[in-house]
Amino acid sequence: MNKSDLIARMTERLSGDRTAAVAAVNGVLEEIEGSVARGERVSLTGFGTFDRRERAAFTGRNPRTGETIQVGPSVVPVFRAGAGFRTVVTQAGDLAIPPAPAAVEGGIGNGNGAKSRAASSASAVRTAVVDEEAPAGKKKSGKKRDEAGVKGGKGAHKGSKKAAKKAKSSR
């Protein structure tokens, strides 16, 4: 959704009064921007908080040349989502994520033994266990393969050109 989409939806809520919708959307955004620019915190209970963060000067590095440069202090806007907004997004996200297939249980760990839902569904997309019909007298492979069908262990599913080239040449 962009600003014009938001105005269109507000127009529907305001019984087709586009002028009022434009004024409402622009007014809210201008007030938030002005308050944050003046250093004020804008807190909308249940939605979130708009604030500004001042960053100190630091020594950086030009990635192209490797030369060190001095980066001056800066001020940046910050938004922290409120509990109500996070809950709405989380509940909507739970509906959009399909359950992981039984063949790939758990996915990737997060360090404390727990598995994240996003990690397990991403893992399910990247790898699948291949159980092809084997000719008589041969066992099924059961080896993990990436999306392109390339056999591999750790890292083979990451799509690196080097791993794909190596796997292709070993066939």
* Distances in whole angstroms, Cα of residue 53 to Cα of each of 29, 35, 39, 69, 73: 19, 13, 9, 22, 11
Domain ranges of the chain: 1-40, 97-151
pLDDT tens column, 6-35: 999 999 999 999 999 999 999 999 999 999
Q: Are 51 and 43 a contacting pair, CB within 8 Å?
A: no
* Chain mean pLDDT for the chain: 74
Average pLDDT (118-137) is 43
pLDDT (tens digit, 9 = 90+) per residue, 54-103?
999 999 999 999 999 999 999 999 999 999 999 999 988 777 656 555 54
- Give the lowest-confidence range in 3-12, 52-61, 113-122: 113-122
Phi first, then psi: what are they for 59, rounded to 5°?
Answer: -90, 120
Q: How far apart are CA 170 and CA 156, in angstroms?
A: 13
pLDDT value of position 92: 82
